[in-house]
Structures are given as C-alpha cells and as structure tokens.
Structure 1
Amino acid sequence: MLSNRLAIVLTTALAPAIWGTTYLATTELLPPGRPLLAAVVRALPAGLLLLLITRRLPRGVWWWRALVLGALNIGAFLALLFVAAYRLPGGVAATVGAVQPLLVAGLSVGLLGERLTVRTVLSALAGAAGVGLLVLRADARLDGIGVAAALGGAVVMAVGVVLSKRWVSPAPLLATTGWQLVAGGLLLLPVALLVEGPPPAVLSGANLAGYGYLSLVGAALAYALWFRGIRALPPVAVTFLGLLSPVVATLAGWAVLGQGLTGTQVLGGAVVLAALVASQARRRGPGGRPAVTVGAVARASHTTD
C-alpha cells in the first residue's frame, strides 16, 4: 500500500517538475510578447489529440463541469502563468505562486470537509519561504500586472484542484484531461486573437520545437499525471508537489544557462524539499491506520454527483 502511494506521489511530482521548465522554454524558444498564443498552442492541440485517442465526449452535467474545470485549471491559469512569465523575473512569479498550498488547504476545509492542521500551515509557510530563498533576488523587478497575474494564477489553480477532487469524472483519465485542455484552449483562443492578433506569419524551428514541447509534454503528459494524482491523493498533498516547479526551474537555469547557484539557493531548495516531505506524511488513526476524516466521506458522496 505504501509503495503504491509512493509511486503515485512520484509520478504526480513529474507534472510540476515538467512545468518547472516552462520559464526556460518560454524565454529561450518562444517568440517574445505572445503569452496568450503560447497558452492556446500549449492547451488546444494537446486536448484535441487526447480526444482523438479516447473518442469520448462529456455527458450530462460534465459538459458544464468540464468547461468550468477547463477554465480554471487550463484557460485562466495558463493565460495568467504566461503573462507572469513574460512580465516578471521567474523568482518573483514563483514566490507569489508558492501561496497555492495555503489556498488549497483553506478551500478544502469549506468544500471538502478537510481538517486544517498545524503541520499543513507550517509546511506551507516553510515551502513559500524556501521558494523565496531559492529564486527571489534582492534586485527583483516588481511589475503590478505581473504580480497580479501570478497571484491570480495561484488562486484559480487552487480552486481548480479542489473542484477536481470534489467532482470525480466517471470517464477515463485521458478523456477528462482532454476535455479540460480543449475547453481551456477554446476559451483562450478568441482572447488571444483579440489581444495579440493573428499568430506570426513565420515561426522558426526553435519556436516550433518550443510549442511542441509545451503542448505534448507540458500539457498532454503533465496534466494527465496531475489529474491522476488529484484523483488518488488528498488535494493538499498534490498541491504541495507544485513547489517542485521553482526547484526544477532553478536547476534548469544552472544546468542549461550556466546561471550561478548560491548557498542561499541551496538552503532554499532544502527547505522546499523538507516541506514537501512533511506535507506527504499521512495522519494516522488508532492502531496506525490512516484516519478517516469528514473530507473522505464528503469526497465519496460527491463521486456520484
């Protein structure tokens, strides 16, 4: 049982690890000044591919639920993510986004009946502090729109994670992932055309490689792993794994771009990893068995909604 849970945690962790390369791919491979186009190209082709593979469409209430989840987890989140990536240094965006575990913990109390524990709060605060040590610079440039986008991205993703746990789809995982990617991409498409105009007439090989990587690996694969983790694990445990993104982003900058790695950054990375480990430990009931909470009963009742 323990090994099965560990396997799910590790495979779910691959998603934020992949997303940690988004900043590198955006700045090094994509055309400048087109964050909404990047979000559309990342989501829509990947979703259509998964729909083609699964040949499964939503039924009943899942038409509007897929739209809502797609807007939260994909459409709004990716738009805000890329706006933040273009307008802020990666450290500022990552530090603001690190509040997400606290947001998910709070929302889980109201929507899932979960109990907010001292360990969760302390782990979330430690994780955010660790991210700050890891990526924040004293001379970091603060842009109001960028900060608002990063904070908004954390909020909509937190709501999406909790609702994804509350609304458990009866369809296969890849189908549900495809629905959300298509919904999010279609919602973003008219906004991207209105704000940024048509796509560039000419794209370089690097541009195409960047878009292909973000769509196939950063969306189709990563979101399938992420949603699988949400189905199997408590939402708070899943969202803590998102703190791996700035760790991977920092390591990618060091390994690929030759950026320096200071002692403070190493300390910050260690704090983040310690917070992750603490967040994954399960609360035990009498006799060493996992405790049954109100949230577990609530989630079971919502699977048939």
Structure 2
Amino acid sequence: MLVIGSCLSLQFGAALATQLFPVFGSWGTTVIRLGAASILLLAVFRPKVWQWTRQQWLAVTLFGLTLAGMNGFFYAAIERIPLGIAVSIEFLGPLALAAALSRRWRDALWIGLALAGVGLFFVDDLLGTSRLDPLGVAFVLIAGLFWALYILAGHRVSATVPGTGGLAAAVTVGTLAVLPFGASGFVGVEWDGRLLLLCLGAALLASVIPYSMEFAALRRLPRPVFGLLLSLEPVIATIAGWMLLGQGVSALAIGAVVLVVCASAGSTATASDPQPGSPSPS
C-alpha cells in the first residue's frame, strides 16, 4: 500500500505540477518541487555536512546533479508530451542499466520488449492518433539517462555517507543546480492564494509524500517486491494524465504501456542477487 500510495502521489503530483508550467515554466516548477523537498529533508535529517570528507562531498554532489537532471528534463518533457508516455519512455534508462550490469541475455530481451512498447508510441504518432513532440521525446530520453546515473550515484552515496543525510544534501544540491534555469520563471509573478495552494500541493504530492512512503516501504519489503510494484508507475501516470489533464489514450498507447510495464516487472522478477562487491542493479 505504501508503494502504490507513493506512485499515486508522485504521478498525480506531476499532473498537478503541469498547472504551474504556464506561470513558472517547467524548470521553475522543478525548483519549487526540489526546493520544498530539500527544506523538509534538511529539517528532518539535519546532516552533519561539516564532518564529511572530500570523497563524501563528491559523491553527494554527483548524486544531486543527477537528481537535478532527472527531474528537470522530465518536467520539460511532460510540458510537451503526455504524462503516461513520458513515464513509459523514461523507464528505458533503469532497464538499460539493469541489462548492462547483469550482462545476461534475458535482460537484453526485457529491454527489447520495452523498446517494442516505446515503438508503438511512434506508430501511434505516424497513424495520427496522437502527436509526439520530438523535443519532448528527446527530453524524456535524457531524463531516463539521468535516472540510470541517479541509481549509480545513489548507490555510491549510500556506501560512503552514513544515514540519510546524504539524500537531504543531494536534494539541496539539485535545487541549486536547477535554480539558474528556473529563476527567470519567478520574475513578475503575481502571487495569490490559488497559486500558493498549487505550489504547496505539487511539492507535497510530487516530493514529500512519495519520498516518505518509499522510505517506509523499503524498510518493510524485499527489493524485488518493491521493484515489481514500482513497475506500475506508467499505468498510474497514464491514468493521472487522463483524469487530471484530459490526455486521451489510444489502444496502441495502452498496448505500449503494458509492454513497458511487463518489461520492467520481468526485469525485476528475474534479477539475481548481486555478488558481494559487485554493483547492484536498481
């Protein structure tokens, strides 16, 4: 229930955040999301950053930069393409990473299945059922690459920085990294009660609530089960886009989402436990 709640909160939060794009732009909205999360995490975990070594700071900084790239380019993508399609394409990043780390032929099959699913989106585009903005697709592919790098950087932080202070500091670094790109979105903004509520709701639903639920779920669930449940994100994102944003879904798009979900679930279900000392896939 915690994982499903996290997925629901994250994707409905992303749908809500699109309402802020006309005011702040996608990068300005990213600043709001990460900034609110960093304030909360710093207040709760209070990392003792003055005690960190140069190696720990380097790991946290890299983690924060990947977090910034993953969130910034994803929000730039959903400004141009439907939410469900964006989440489905973004899953190529961690799937490709899992296949590269395992070097097993069946993991290559899973990434092939996911590519087939993504291919259906482009078939749908050629048939004229839905239009895919090329720049939006490029942005979400970059976000998927940053997602894979985020996984690797997260493993390094967890190995070098004790506790959860590394996450709080990394989110702060990520906020500072996207600030130059999103700062212009705050110029001349007329603040009112509705806008403040939208910012608060997007920050809570897209950052604070899902982070808290995922942390709690990871303490209770084995990693394979957690990964299987997380594979439902494209489905939830498609539903959120349809319900909140009026983004229509064709039969081909539904088939594409199903293929990506099956590929993600299959990759997680067939993943073997990593050998001692070897990097572990997401």
Correspondence for 1:149 among 116, 139, 152: 139
Alignment equivalent of 2:103, drawn from 112, 116, 135: 116
Q: Is the 8 A contact 2:12 2:205 kept in 1?
A: no
Partner of 1:214: 202
TM-score, normalised with respect to structure 1 = 0.72
Checking the alignment, whether the CA contact within 8 Å between 2:11 and 2:237 is kept in structure 1 is: yes
Preserved CA contact (<8 Å) 1:177 1:224: no
Gaps of 5+ in 1: 1-9, 110-114, 284-290, 301-305
Residue 77 of structure 1 corresponds to which residue in structure 2?
A: 70
User: What is the deviation of 1:29?
Assistant: 5.0
Q: Are 1:66 and 2:66 counterparts?
A: no
The partner residue of 2:45 within 47, 54, 62 is 54
**CA contact under 8 A between 1:123 and 1:276: conserved in structure 2?**
yes
1:255 to 243, 249, 252: 243
CA distance in 2, matches of 1:43, 1:105: 26
Does the alignment pair 1:159 with 2:149? yes
Q: What is the number of equivalent residue pairs in this alignment?
A: 270
Q: Which amino acid aligns with 1:26?
A: A
Write the deviation string for residues 239-283 of structure 1: whole angstroms up to 9, x where unpaired.
x76653331122123334566555445544443443343223255
Structure 1 residues 116-150: Cα deviation after superposition (integer angstroms, max 9, x where no partner): 22332222332444466589843344444333221
Shift of 1:103: 2.8
Q: Which structure carries more helix by proportion?
A: 2
Residue number in structure 1 paired with 2:11? 20
Gaps of 5+ in 2: none
Match of 1:275 among 256, 263, 269: 263
- Within-5 A mapping of 1:1-305: 11-12=2-3, 14-32=5-23, 34-58=25-49, 59-60=52-53, 61-73=55-67, 75-90=68-83, 93-106=86-99, 109=101, 115-130=102-117, 133=120, 137-138=124-125, 139=128, 140-169=130-159, 170-173=161-164, 175-193=165-183, 196-224=184-212, 229=218, 233=223, 238=227, 243-256=231-244, 262-282=250-270, 293-294=274-275, 296-299=276-279
Contact 1:12-1:225 at 8 Å conserved across structures? yes
Normalised by the length of structure 2, the TM-score is: 0.77
When the two chains are superposed, the root-mean-square deviation of aligned CA atoms in Å is 3.5
For each residue in 1:208-238, what CA deviation from the matched residue of structure 2 results, as whole angstroms up to 9, or x when unmatched? 233223322312332455578599737xx84
Does the CA-based 8 Å contact 1:87-1:143 persist in structure 2?
yes
Q: Do the aligned partners of 2:231 and 2:265 also contact (CA within 8 Å) in 1?
A: no
Contact persistence 2:84–2:241 (CA under 8 A): no
